[in-house]
């Protein structure tokens, strides 16, 4: 686990074990707010031990930014004196998906042994929720896109945005909605931000922020355009490998290259969506043709009937 300080009272902990996931903490004498846990027990415990060693207030709140296990697996390591907070959508998503998801992850990762799903009980639904500890105000804001429950935490006094997976080295939207994602990224531009803690990877500093946000929006536009062209040309899904992350305006280096896998997952997801869309249109057109065929038959039959009627009058 890597530890850094992004302002006097805000610490960021980055996992060495999985995809450079980050967890953050706002530390005051009046209490500590933790935003997200780390994926595995050892690192979450290490973070908690460190925070306790600072001799500041007790851990009061743990915020979940979205339901994904790499951010929430550590929930069960906190006792009930810590209030577990999230947006209602996250609570609902965890009730729906987390048990199955955790069971599947446990099959692959022995490091998850003993981890249990723990679901947030303090939730907000409308507008924003603001958590106050001593002189800090931590604003929780829904920012869907990566997932429909994605939430960010903005520490007003420090102008630090803990953006979770709304800001990553490459936007990853297979669980969510890329158009809504784009809108959420546009909203970020209205914030006065000193630094952004990404859900995975490096902390972004003031000078890097506008470029990073624009580049993420740009990426969403480019992949949509390129994959659509791909489908229109009738290329196969296998050929998507040609459409590398560099060709879509992003570096292949961050997260030890994992961004390339995220990118491939994104474009395969888009490809499937566009193919479904194309097939649906084709079936509708076929049906219309068939209907026209039926109409013709009906007309012909009517004409024949009319003729017969006319004839019989004779
Ligand atoms: Zn996620």
Q: Are both 112 and 204 inside the same structural domain?
A: yes
* Segment holding 11, helix H or strand E: strand 10-14
pLDDT of residue 288: 85
Helices 258-313/209-232 angle, 10° precision? 40
Q: Are both 17 and 98 inside the same structural domain?
A: yes
The DSSP symbol for 242 reads G
What 3-state DSSP class applies to 257?
A: helix
Higher pLDDT, 127 or 105: 105
Out of 27-41, 56-70, 240-254, 299-313, pick the least confident.
299-313
Ligand 1 centroid to 45 CA: how many Å? 21
Q: Which of 161, 186, 220 is a domain's end point?
A: 220
pLDDT of residue 287: 87
| pLDDT score of 122 more than 90 | yes
Q: Are both 202 and 231 inside the same structural domain?
A: no
Task: Order the strands of the 203-205 sheet from edge to edge.
Answer: 129-133, 136-142, 151-155, 160-164, 195-198, 203-205
How far apart are alpha carbons 81 and 59 in whole angstroms?
8
Q: Are both 131 and 212 inside the same structural domain?
A: yes
How far apart are alpha carbons 94 and 68 in whole angstroms?
8
Q: Are both 279 and 210 inside the same structural domain?
A: no
Ligand 1 centroid to 65 CA: how many Å? 9
Ligand 1 centroid to 113 CA: how many Å? 21
The CATH code of the domain that includes 44 is 3.60.15.10
pLDDT of residue 286: 86
The pLDDT of 120-145, averaged and rounded, is 96
How far apart are alpha carbons 65 and 162 in whole angstroms?
9
Q: Which domain holds residue 240?
A: 226-313
Q: Are both 89 and 234 inside the same structural domain?
A: no
Ligand 1 centroid to 177 CA: how many Å? 13
Q: Are both 169 and 50 inside the same structural domain?
A: yes
Q: Which of 220, 254, 280 is a domain's end point?
A: 220
| pLDDT score of 305 more than 60 | no
| pLDDT score of 295 more than 70 | no
Ligand 1 centroid to 162 CA: how many Å? 14
Residue 191 has a CB neighbour count (10 Å cut-off) of 16
133, two tokens: 């500890």
Q: In three state form, how does the secondary structure of 137-168 look?
A: EEEEEECCCCCCCCEEEEECCCCEEEEECCCC
Ligand 1 centroid to 178 CA: how many Å? 14
pLDDT of residue 290: 81
Where does residue 285 fall: left (phi above 0), alpha (psi -120 to 50 degrees), or beta otherwise?
alpha
Ligand 1 centroid to 49 CA: how many Å? 25
The pLDDT of 280-285, averaged and rounded, is 88
Ligand 1 centroid to 35 CA: how many Å? 14
Number of domains in the chain: 2
The DSSP symbol for 118 reads -
Sign of CA dihedral 250, 251, 252, 256: negative
Q: Are both 307 and 168 inside the same structural domain?
A: no
Residue listed under structure tokens 């609570």 = 91
pLDDT of residue 293: 66
Q: Are both 68 and 198 inside the same structural domain?
A: yes
| pLDDT score of 129 more than 80 | yes
pLDDT of residue 312: 40
Ligand 1 centroid to 165 CA: how many Å? 6
Ligand 1 centroid to 290 CA: how many Å? 45
Q: Are both 207 and 250 inside the same structural domain?
A: no
Task: Summarize pLDDT for 145-187 with one digit per residue, the tens.
Answer: 999 999 999 999 999 999 999 999 999 999 999 999 999 999 9
The pLDDT of 265-277, averaged and rounded, is 96
pLDDT of residue 310: 46
Ligand 1 centroid to 143 CA: how many Å? 13
Higher pLDDT, 46 or 127: 46
Ligand 1 centroid to 203 CA: how many Å? 17
**pLDDT-derived band of residue 297, with 50, 70 and 90 as boundaries?**
low
**pLDDT-derived band of residue 314, with 50, 70 and 90 as boundaries?**
very low
Q: Are both 160 and 204 inside the same structural domain?
A: yes
Task: Summarize pLDDT for 62-119 with one digit per residue, the tens.
Answer: 999 999 999 999 999 999 999 999 999 999 999 999 999 999 999 999 999 999 999 9
Ligand 1 centroid to 66 CA: how many Å? 7
Ligand 1 centroid to 67 CA: how many Å? 7
Q: Which of 186, 220, 254 is a domain's end point?
A: 220
Q: Are both 174 and 307 inside the same structural domain?
A: no
């Amino acid at each position: 686990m890597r530890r850094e300080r992004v302002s006097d009272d805000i610490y960021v902990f980055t996992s060495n074990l999985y995809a450079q996931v980050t967890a953050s903490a706002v530390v005051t004498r009046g209490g500590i707010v933790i935003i997200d846990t780390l994926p595995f027990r050892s690192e979450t415990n290490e973070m908690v031990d460190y925070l306790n060693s600072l001799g500041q207030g007790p851990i009061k709140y743990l915020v979940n930014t979205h339901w994904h296990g790499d951010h929430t697996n550590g929930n069960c390591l906190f006792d009930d004196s810590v209030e577990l907070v999230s947006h209602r959508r996250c609570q609902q998503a965890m009730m729906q998906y987390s048990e199955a998801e955790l069971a599947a992850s446990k099959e692959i990762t022995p490091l998850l042994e003993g981890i249990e799903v723990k679901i947030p009980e303090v939730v907000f639904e409308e507008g924003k929720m603001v958590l106050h500890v001593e002189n800090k105000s931590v604003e929780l804001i829904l920012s869907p896109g990566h997932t429909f429950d994605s939430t960010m935490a903005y520490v007003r006094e420090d102008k630090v945005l803990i953006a979770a997976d709304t800001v990553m080295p490459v936007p990853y939207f297979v669980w969510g909605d890329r158009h809504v994602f784009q809108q959420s990224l546009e909203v970020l531009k209205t914030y006065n931000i000193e630094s952004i803690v990404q859900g995975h990877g490096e902390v972004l500093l003031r000078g890097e922020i506008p470029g990073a946000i624009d580049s993420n929006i740009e990426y969403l536009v480019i992949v949509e355009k390129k994959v659509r062209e791909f489908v229109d040309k009738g290329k196969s899904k296998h050929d998507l490998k040609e459409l590398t992350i560099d060709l879509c305006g992003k570096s292949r280096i961050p997260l030890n290259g994992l961004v390339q896998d995220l990118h491939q997952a994104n474009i395969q997801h888009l490809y499937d969506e566009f193919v479904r869309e194309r097939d649906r249109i084709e079936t509708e057109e076929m049906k219309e043709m068939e209907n026209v065929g039926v109409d013709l038959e009906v007309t012909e039959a009517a004409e024949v009937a009319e003729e017969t009627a006319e004839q019989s009058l004779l």
